[in-house]
Amino acid sequence: MLVLGLDPGSRHTGFGLVRREGSRLEAIDFGRLSPAPERELAERLGEIALGLEALLDRHRPDRAAVEKVFHGANTRSLIVLAEARGALLATLARAAVEIVELSPAAIKSAAAGSGRADKTQVARMVALQLGIAVDRLASDTTDALAIAIAGSLTLPEARR
């Protein structure tokens, strides 16, 4: 199964593509979709959607996993994060990719074994599971790979 994990953001959207065969995990592609920072929000979201479309065309994942949004630094940042997430969800739906939405605790639990793991623990476990050097990854990329790992484990009855 090929799973695309997405960590939404309007400045940087992390992506991680993981192939799961039984208990074996392999990182296929990972990085960031980073639109030009001087652009207006709508233009940045458009660039992120186009970048996601290109990823979908290139890799054709079986499933996409996206983190649910529960909080933000402030109301404005939460709204912008929700808008970025909406652009991703709409792009995935248009491409008819199965979508799994996961809570932060479920992602941490799947990637690091504990729903209360901190970012450093999650990054270390993602790197260990995928054989990638931690220092090679930006935090949103590590988060996206953790989301892909969690999405590859999700049972059918847990899907939304």
pLDDT < 70 stretches in the chain = 70-73, 154-160
Whether residue 138 contacts residue 32, with contact meaning beta carbons closer than 8 Å, is answered with yes
**Res 144: pLDDT:** 96
- At 139, the amino acid letter reads S
Residues taking part in catalysis: 7, 67, 140
Note if the pTM is more than 0.85. yes
**Res 7: pLDDT:** 95
DSSP string, 28-69: EEEEEE---TTS-HHHHHHHHHHHHHHHHHHH--SEEEEEPP
Q: Which of 12, 134, 7, 123 is nearest to 69 (CA)?
A: 7
**Res 133: pLDDT:** 86
**Res 154: pLDDT:** 65
Domains of the chain, earliest start first = 2-158 (3.30.420.10)
**Res 137: pLDDT:** 80
- At 40, the amino acid letter reads E
